[in-house]
């Protein structure tokens, strides 16, 4: 899964040299924020999809948890492009991550504790494998999403995904591809790692951003493309039974892209096959990368379009390289 190089604390380095200490705060307390991004092979070369939007959300997540990244958004964007060039990749899944490093134990980080920043690029196909084409078999999980004002759902934080692991593990254990969580109020929320859409009588329905969901970038993309295709979209609270009576269901995410759902709790969705609205949105979405859908929104950032002067770029980035040495351990909490 690994590639020759990654970007870590301001430098491109061999994958094997990016190490962290076992006292790293994020390992003990989940103090990390991250993103998942796709680079697509296009007729004009490799291009990130909505890179600036992902980087902006990374910074917003860090702000929620008062994590100082130490680089500007422009520097992270430049490093992201440099990483793909360094690995000579045509397509990739990219994982930026920001985490509190080895600065002593205790729930609250110590003053001056380091923050580490890394970017990893790897080959990664469809997140749910063959389900992306045939349709996924999903279940409604017994695990719910956290209530508002407990864990911020809009922040893409590492700790949030413990809940997702429980949802996904339960689903796989019972023979499903994925699980769907209800919110604290018993209404639909999202999948373990995906946003949720239903089609009913030609209208696209999706739980609102207040339903304990991550405000997904692919979700926003689908809403925008649906408007282009003349498909009405309604963000609204939805009960569990809406899944069983929907004409179509699909899930979205940077890793999952647009994945149709063919059954929920072993009940077929529609005729048990991906429907025309889902297929139309898939065609429009993937058309952004094969050239059949015009990118009117400036969503593509081409890796080889502009190569900044490497020395100037590195000087700017390295000036902010965080301290990496582990501090002495404090009292545990």
The reported pLDDT for the residue numbered 288 is 98
For the chain (333 residues), the mean pLDDT of every run of 10, in chain order, is 90 94 95 97 97 98 97 98 97 98 91 94 80 90 95 95 97 97 97 97 96 96 97 98 98 95 97 95 97 96 72 43 38 35
Question: Is the Cβ–Cβ distance between 194 and 252 less than 8 Å?
Answer: yes
The reported pLDDT for the residue numbered 103 is 85
Dig out the tokens for 181 from the structure: 């969580």
The reported pLDDT for the residue numbered 2 is 75
The reported pLDDT for the residue numbered 158 is 96
106 vs 112: CA distance, rounded Å: 14
How many C-beta atoms surround the C-beta of residue 91 within 10 A? 17
Of the listed 156, 200, 203, 273, which one is catalytic? 156
The reported pLDDT for the residue numbered 131 is 75
The reported pLDDT for the residue numbered 306 is 58
Domains detected in the chain: 5-122 (3.30.470.10), 130-288 (3.20.10.10)
Residue showing tokens 């649906």: 226
The reported pLDDT for the residue numbered 164 is 97
Closest to 111 in 3D by CA, of 123, 122, 103: 103
pTM, rounded to two decimals: 0.90
Asked if 156 is an active-site residue, the reply is yes
């Amino acid at each position: 899964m690994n590639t020759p190089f990654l970007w870590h604390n301001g430098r491109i380095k061999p994958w094997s040299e990016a190490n962290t200490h076992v006292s790293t705060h994020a390992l003990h307390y989940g103090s990390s924020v991250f993103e998942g991004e796709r680079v697509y092979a296009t007729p004009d070369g490799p291009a990130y999809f909505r890179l600036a939007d992902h980087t902006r959300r990374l910074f917003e997540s860090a702000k929620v948890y008062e994590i100082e990244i130490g680089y500007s958004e422009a520097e992270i964007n430049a490093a992201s492009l440099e990483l793909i060039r360094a690995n000579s990749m045509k397509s990739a899944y990219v994982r930026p991550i920001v985490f509190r490093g080895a600065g002593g134990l205790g729930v609250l980080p110590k003053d001056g504790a380091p923050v580490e920043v890394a970017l990893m690029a790897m080959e990664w196909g469809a997140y749910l494998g063959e389900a992306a084409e045939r349709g996924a078999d999903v279940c409604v999980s017994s695990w719910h999403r956290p209530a508002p004002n407990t864990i911020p759902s809009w922040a893409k934080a590492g700790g949030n995904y413990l809940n997702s692991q429980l949802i996904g593990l339960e689903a796989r254990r019972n023979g499903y591809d994925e699980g769907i969580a209800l919110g604290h109020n018993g209404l639909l929320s999202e999948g373990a790692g995906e946003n949720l859409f239903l089609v009913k009588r030609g209208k696209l329905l999706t739980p609102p951003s207040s339903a304990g969901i991550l405000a997904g970038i692919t979700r926003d993309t689908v809403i925008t493309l649906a408007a282009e295709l003349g498909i009405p979209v309604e963000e609204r609270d939805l009960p569990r039974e809406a899944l069983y009576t929907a004409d179509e269901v699909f899930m979205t995410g940077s890793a999952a892209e647009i994945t149709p759902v063919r059954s929920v709790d072993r009940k077929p969705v529609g005729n048990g096959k991906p429907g025309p609205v889902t297929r139309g949105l898939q065609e429009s979405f993937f058309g952004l990368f094969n050239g059949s859908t015009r990118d009117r929104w400036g969503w593509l950032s081409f890796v080889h379009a502009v190569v900044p002067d490497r020395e100037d770029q590195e000087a700017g980035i390295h000036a902010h390289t965080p301290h990496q040495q582990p501090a002495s351990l404090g009292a545990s909490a």
